[in-house]
Structure 1
């Protein structure tokens, strides 16, 4: 109960500052419309603040927030019937100070990678996006997806192996 009480008194601004960028990045990967990404991010924090007293402390706080984000995304996709974003969205995810030639090569490589991610199963895509775009640990991903940590690790391993095979240069 002390954790709940401590979280209730936590500054909303601090929670937002810690998680907003990761949640936005997670949505940006999955949704084409940047306005909707901003709206969904805002919706997540409205839900988090409204349900803060329901957080029981048994699971990591970040996993709890991303569970809300993931469920918000699922609701949105069902409603909009939208598919994951096109590759141009990924170019904006990473700021770069590289030379133009290096940026083009990196962009082409990123486009290939995310085009290949689309070929993975839905569960593998979810694990990969939560791991690398939201920067979550396996136990947090398991909590968000409602799966065991072992099954998440297997999904991750198989997804990465499949991506590695697809990304091998053909010569």
Structure 2
């Protein structure tokens, strides 16, 4: 599908102006190093521009960009995990920090939860991902998805309720 038909009036600069602050904020709350946040934000827009012709319009453009951002964050975290711990970080650990087993259980629970998110409707899944992965407010999500704020709140409520039921059933 021709992207010019989907957003004919948006050029690269307008896309950047529309989404850069949101993408930056998404990374800022997850990555400590400001330079890495800036690099990640730049990386996202390089990928968006290079893959712009691949955007097919099945999902909202904002959700597509945030999926690219999320994938860039995952790649960054994988690379960071491979780095050895520096002495300052190691010496700052406290006895009250979670044990590795607890961290693993939390990670497994989180993985299960996100697997269940993928069973929600596309609209519910988009709202949940933009709310909790992108830290966007309901009015921002409504704007990105082209829906009213009330319908986004309903999708969020129903999605969360369904997730709670699925997690209870599993426990």
* 2:70/2:133 contact within 8 Å kept: no
Structure 1 residues 133 and 150: CA distance shift in structure 2, 3 A: closer
Match of 1:78? 78
Distance 1:10 1:48 in 2: 13
* 1:22/1:133 contact within 8 Å kept: no
The structure with the larger Rg is: 2
* 1:40/1:72 contact within 8 Å kept: yes
Structure 1 residues 9 and 133: CA distance shift in structure 2, 3 A: closer
Match of 1:153? 159
Give the aligned length: 113
Match of 1:30? 30
Q: How does 1:31-70 map to 2 (within 5 A)?
A: 31-70=31-70
State the shift of 1:133 in Å.
6.6
Distance 1:136 1:5 in 2: 23
State the shift of 1:130 in Å.
2.1
* 1:27/1:73 contact within 8 Å kept: yes
State the shift of 1:48 in Å.
0.2
The answer for unaligned runs of 5 or more in structure 2 is 83-105, 118-127, 146-154, 165-171
RMSD over equivalenced CA pairs, Å: 3.8
Q: TM-score, normalised by structure 2?
A: 0.53
State the shift of 1:152 in Å.
8.5
Distance 2:132 2:41 in 1: 20
* 2:44/2:69 contact within 8 Å kept: yes
Q: TM-score, normalised by structure 1?
A: 0.53
* 1:130/1:136 contact within 8 Å kept: no
State the shift of 1:81 in Å.
2.0
Structure 1 residues 52 and 79: CA distance shift in structure 2, 3 A: same
* 2:48/2:68 contact within 8 Å kept: yes
Distance 2:77 2:158 in 1: 22
SS in 2 for 1:130: coil
